[in-house]
């Protein structure tokens, strides 16, 4: 705020998007980084990683080509599930940064007890959650070809 790099409120330009995006990103970053670390530690203990090291592959190649795709699968599933939590965070972020959006609409409808608007926001949010889970399920086979869509 003191440096004046990004506007604190309002919307319309890319600069207005940075702080709200960072705020929503920080919300899950600790959890995801901790889970990614534990998943990576578990994957690095597997036999195929030991085999890749024995073949003489570089550390970077082992991490990026062999370990990361297998370690990131649980994280993708968690992101699909956590979309509902992010939708709840949108209400706060829109209020703090002065964005007119679905979060503000929901908050105003709750204060006025506007049942049709509350139902509409709930349906849109539920649809976003279902589509997020579907997207996570569709991305998983692209990362790991052993998982097949039937």
Residue 130 lies in a domain: yes
Residue 9 lies in a domain: no
What pLDDT, in 10s, does the model give residues 37-80?
A: 999 999 999 998 999 999 998 999 999 888 888 889 888 888 88
- Nearest Cα to Cα of residue 24 among 125, 77, 92: 92
Give me the domain span that covers residue 123: 14-143
Residue 1 lies in a domain: no
Please tell me the distance from the alpha carbon of residue 78 to that of residue 137, in angstroms, as a whole number. Answer: 11
Domain count for the chain, please give it: 1
Q: How many helices (H) and strands (E) does the chain have?
A: 8, 0
What pLDDT, in 10s, does the model give residues 88-123?
A: 778 888 888 888 888 888 888 999 999 999 999 889
């Amino acid at each position: 705020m003191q440096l004046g790099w990004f506007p604190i409120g309002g919307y319309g330009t890319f600069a207005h998007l940075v702080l709200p995006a960072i705020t929503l990103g920080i919300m899950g970053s600790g959890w995801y980084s901790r889970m990614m670390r534990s998943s990576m530690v578990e994957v690095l203990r597997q036999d195929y990683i030991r085999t890749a090291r024995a073949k003489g592959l570089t550390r970077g190649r082992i991490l990026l080509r062999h370990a990361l795709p297998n370690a990131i699968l649980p994280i993708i599933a968690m992101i699909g599930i956590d979309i509902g939590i992010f939708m709840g965070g949108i209400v706060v972020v829109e209020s703090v940064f002065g964005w007119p959006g679905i979060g503000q609409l929901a908050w105003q409808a709750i204060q006025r007890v506007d049942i049709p608007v509350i139902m509409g926001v709930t349906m849109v949010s539920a649809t976003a959650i279902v589509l997020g889970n579907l997207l996570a399920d569709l991305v998983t086979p692209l990362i790991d070809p052993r998982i097949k869509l039937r």
